[in-house]
């Protein structure tokens, strides 16, 4: 989390123009369950709303809060590529793998039927004391084929069960966490965990979530500047751009960890007792900076370093902004203002 180490996301040619200034929040108090954020772009009529990570164009940071989204329709691209894409991909992947196992099982059953037929022929020929011809060698080959098919099916069935478990774990995590906390706050913190600590442990993800809420005074709020969270605009596109199924499955496993970490942070009623980063408000990754040929951010020279248990110093250095003096904050689910 630095203002000096991450480049701005550059819109691709033909991307929509950045969103116009957000409308002023309504003065009317909305029920908490209706205070959902929605986002609009300057090139559209106000009957469409977007998620905070709409892949249709540049990241939309301006958030409007009203009593729900009214008659607005969710952007079709958001609906396709938001958090729904993970469950959609897993369902399609499971169907594909189940069909493959079924197809191979049918082939194996056909071979087993041929083996049985050939064995019956050989048995009858022996009883009649007639020559077997090439039936013995054919039987050997068929048994070898059946053995090979059985090994392939067992391997694919094991892999299929692993994917079923992945789908079950993700679905239970997402539905369970969003049933307890506001959906937009769950997805926001899970995004923070994935952007900052995607390939790290669930503990590392939880640490950056505590740091983010400390930084924002207990508010689960979006970055006011995309540089505050590493590659903030790339989160869900990383999944779409993954090179293969294995990478996508690994991504979802990491996202499941991030959802559990978000649950732990949002449910913490006594952060002073449980905060693993001891009030840290900022952090940076020495390893990531070295990979980009960059030095630690300038602000790190003025901030107080905090030793965090279970975090390798090469992965993250957590620090406290002297202006905030290590204060720890309760999560404020109804808060909407920036600190």
pLDDT at 14: 38
- State the pLDDT at residue 162: 96
pLDDT at 235: 57
Residue 339 has a pLDDT of 32
Low-confidence ranges of the chain (pLDDT < 50): 2-37, 43, 57-69, 336-339
Do residues 139 and 241 both lie within one domain?
no
On whether both 109 and 162 belong to a single domain, the answer is yes
**Among candidate residues 138, 173, 208, the one where a domain is terminated:** 173
The answer to whether residue 6 sits within a structural domain is no
Q: Is residue 8 part of a domain?
A: no
User: How many structural domains compose the chain?
Assistant: 2
pLDDT score at 327:
77
Note whether 98 and 132 are same-domain residues.
yes
Q: Are residues 154 and 203 in the same domain?
A: no
Residue 280 lies in a domain: yes
Q: Are residues 36 and 95 in the same domain?
A: no
For Cα atoms 213, 219, 224, give the angle at the middle one, nearest 5 degrees.
Answer: 85
CA–CA separation, 323 and 308 (whole Å): 20
Asked if 187 and 130 sit in the same domain, the reply is no
Q: 44: exposed, middle or buried (C-beta count within 10 Å: 0-12, 13-18, 19+)?
A: middle
Domain membership of residue 313 (yes or no) is yes
Do 196 and 314 belong together in one domain?
yes
- Residue 22 within a domain: no
> Can you tell me whether residue 333 is helix, strand or coil?
coil
pLDDT digits (tens, 9 = 90+) for 13-28: 333 433 434 444 444 4
Q: Tokens 């808060």 map to which residue?
A: 335
Tell me the pairing of strands 73-74 and 48-49: parallel
Residue-range definition of the domain harbouring residue 36:
32-82+181-320
Same domain as 41, residue 187: yes
DSSP state of 132: -
Q: Do residues 32 and 334 touch, judged by C-beta distance below 8 A? A: yes
Q: Does any domain span residue 108?
A: yes
pLDDT at 10: 35
236 and 160 inside one domain: no
Does residue 75 sit in the same domain as residue 153? no
On whether both 70 and 91 belong to a single domain, the answer is no
Q: Is 16 within the bounds of a domain?
A: no
Strands 282-284 and 317-320, sheet pairing: antiparallel
Asked if residue 7 belongs to a domain, the reply is no
pLDDT for residue 122: 95
């Amino acid at each position: 989390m630095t203002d000096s180490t991450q480049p701005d996301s550059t819109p691709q040619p033909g991307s929509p123009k950045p969103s116009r200034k957000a409308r002023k929040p309504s003065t009317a108090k909305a029920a908490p369950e209706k205070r959902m954020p929605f986002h609009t772009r300057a090139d559209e009529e106000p009957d469409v709303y977007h998620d905070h990570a709409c892949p249709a164009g540049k990241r939309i940071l301006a958030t409007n809060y009203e009593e729900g989204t009214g008659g607005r329709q969710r952007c079709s691209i958001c609906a396709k590529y938001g958090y729904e894409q993970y469950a959609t991909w897993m369902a399609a992947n499971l169907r594909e793998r189940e069909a493959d196992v079924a197809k191979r099982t049918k082939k194996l059953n056909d071979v087993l039927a041929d083996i049985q037929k050939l064995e019956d022929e050989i048995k009858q020929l022996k009883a009649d004391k007639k020559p077997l011809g090439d039936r013995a060698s054919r039987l050997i080959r068929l048994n070898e084929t059946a053995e090979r098919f059985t090994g392939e099916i067992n391997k694919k069935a094991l892999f299929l069960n692993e994917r079923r478990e992945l789908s079950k774990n993700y679905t239970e995590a997402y539905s369970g966490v969003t049933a307890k906390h506001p959906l937009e706050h769950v997805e926001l913190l899970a995004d923070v965990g994935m952007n900052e600590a995607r390939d790290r442990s669930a503990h590392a993800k939880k640490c950056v979530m505590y740091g983010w809420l400390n930084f924002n005074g207990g508010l689960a709020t979006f970055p006011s500047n995309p540089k505050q969270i590493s590659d903030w605009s790339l989160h869900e596109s990383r999944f779409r751009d993954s090179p293969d199924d294995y990478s996508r499955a690994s991504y979802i496993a990491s996202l499941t960890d991030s959802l559990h970490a978000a649950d732990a942070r949002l449910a913490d009623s006594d952060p002073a007792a449980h905060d693993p980063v001891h009030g840290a408000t900022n952090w940076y990754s020495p390893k990531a900076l070295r990979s980009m040929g960059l030095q630690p951010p300038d602000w790190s020279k003025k901030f107080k370093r905090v030793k965090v248990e279970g975090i390798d110093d090469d992965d993250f250095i957590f620090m406290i902004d002297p202006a905030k003096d290590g204060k720890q904050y309760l999560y404020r689910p109804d808060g909407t203002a920036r600190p």
